[in-house]
Structure 1
Amino acid sequence: MARHDEVLIALRQIIRATDLYSRKLSKVAGLTAPQLLVLQAIKPHGELTMGDIANEVSVSQATVTTILDRLEKRGLIERKRGEQDKRRVYASLTGEGGAILERAPTPLQEEFMARFEQLQDWEQTLILSSLQRVAAMMNAGDIDASPVLDLGAIDRAQPATEERRGRHRTHSQTDQK
């Protein structure tokens, strides 16, 4: 087997592992990985502002707001205005949010980080530089991404861009020919 095929297989295995984890998380807890990370960020603090959550999870405040909207609709978190500063809004877990968090599987990136930290420094550097090179080879070096291992839009509410819609239509039309 050619080396490039082995590389593509390894990339596909990583994508597949992420997809399988996302499905397991959805089945077991009814959450996406970013939703789980937001709940986990809130738990040890009792309550956090949107900005604090964004910093903890490494996503934008707009993304956090969208995730919190979904979690609030499901009754997993509640928001309240600050007592001293009414401009600040705090999110906290509800009882149901805490219960779901207890039965949710460990985030995939936590397992990865634990194993990665056990590697020698040179091995970590080698993996990092190799993956950065692969990202560049796939023209993905400039794509903004958070350290959340999940598939699809991070907030699951981002509408497809016109470019993606056009590309999808083009592929669909091509498939029909």
Structure 2
Amino acid sequence: MNRSKEVLIAIRKIIRAIDLQSKRLMSEAGVTGPQLLVMQAVSQLRERGRHPSLGEIAKRVSLSQATVTSIMGRLEAKGLALRSKGSDDRRRMEVTLTAAGEEALRRAPNPLQESFVEAFEGLQAWEQHLLISSLERVADMMGAADIEAAPVLETEGLAKDPSLQ
């Protein structure tokens, strides 16, 4: 087999792993990867005693505020989260998870990126640099170098979000 086919097969395996994890997440918790990421951010910020705003959540998950607003709309429609005006500042929208949202968060399997990050951080620095360089080169070769992307391994949800196009 020629090397370009080997690379394409490896890329396809990565895409397939992300797709399978996305389907598992949806079947077990009823949410997409980006929705889970937002819910985790809300929960973590709440544990610190804060009512997070959409802007704080967006910053924490490396997504635009418009994207987080869209994700929040879907979470509210599912009854998993609520937005309300701030008690101190009525212009500020604060986010909380509902009891159903907390339960979905408990049921959710760990996102694929968490196991990846753990394995990646176990590599030597030179291996990390080699992987980053190689993947950036592949992205460039596929015409994807200038595409905005968040550190979320998800094939659904984000791709359909018009604010990312």
- TM-score of Structure 1 vs Structure 2, range by shorter chain: over 0.9
Report deviation, 1:14: 0.4
Give the structure 2 partner of residue 115 of structure 1.
119
Query: For 1:92, what is the secondary structure of its paired residue?
Result: strand
Report deviation, 1:24: 0.6
Gaps of 5+ in 1: 162-177
How many residue pairs get aligned? The number is 160
Residue identity over aligned pairs, in percent, reads 52
**Equivalent residue for 1:149, pick from 134, 144, 153:** 153
Query: Is residue 2:38 matched to residue 1:38?
Result: yes
Give the structure 2 partner of residue 167 of structure 1.
none
Query: Is residue 2:82 matched to residue 1:78?
Result: yes
The change in CA–CA distance for 1:136 and 1:155 in structure 2 (over 3 A counts) is closer
Give the structure 1 partner of residue 29 of structure 2.
29
Write out per-residue CA displacement over residues 106-131 of structure 1, whole angstroms, 9 at most, x where no aligned residue. 01111100110000000000000000
Of structures 1 and 2, the one with the larger relative CO (CA 8 A, separation 6+) is 2
Report deviation, 1:156: 4.1
Gaps of 5+ in 2: none
Matches of 2:159 and 2:89, distance apart in 1: 28
**Equivalent residue for 2:103, pick from 83, 94, 99:** 99
| Code of the aligned partner of 1:125 | H
Report deviation, 1:152: 3.7
Query: For 2:27, what is the secondary structure of its paired residue?
Result: helix
Q: Cα RMSD over matched residues?
A: 1.5
- Tell me if structure 1 keeps the 8 A contact 2:22–2:156: no
**Equivalent residue for 1:58, pick from 62, 75, 88:** 62
Write out per-residue CA displacement over residues 29-54 of structure 1, whole angstroms, 9 at most, x where no aligned residue. 11110000000001022231000000
Matches of 2:132 and 2:58, distance apart in 1: 24
The change in CA–CA distance for 1:91 and 1:109 in structure 2 (over 3 A counts) is same
| Code of the aligned partner of 2:10 | A
Runs in 1 of length 4+ with deviation above 4 angstroms? none
Query: For 2:150, what is the secondary structure of its paired residue?
Result: coil
Report deviation, 1:155: 7.2
Matches of 1:100 and 1:111, distance apart in 2: 20
Query: For 1:78, what is the secondary structure of its paired residue?
Result: strand
| Code of the aligned partner of 1:117 | E
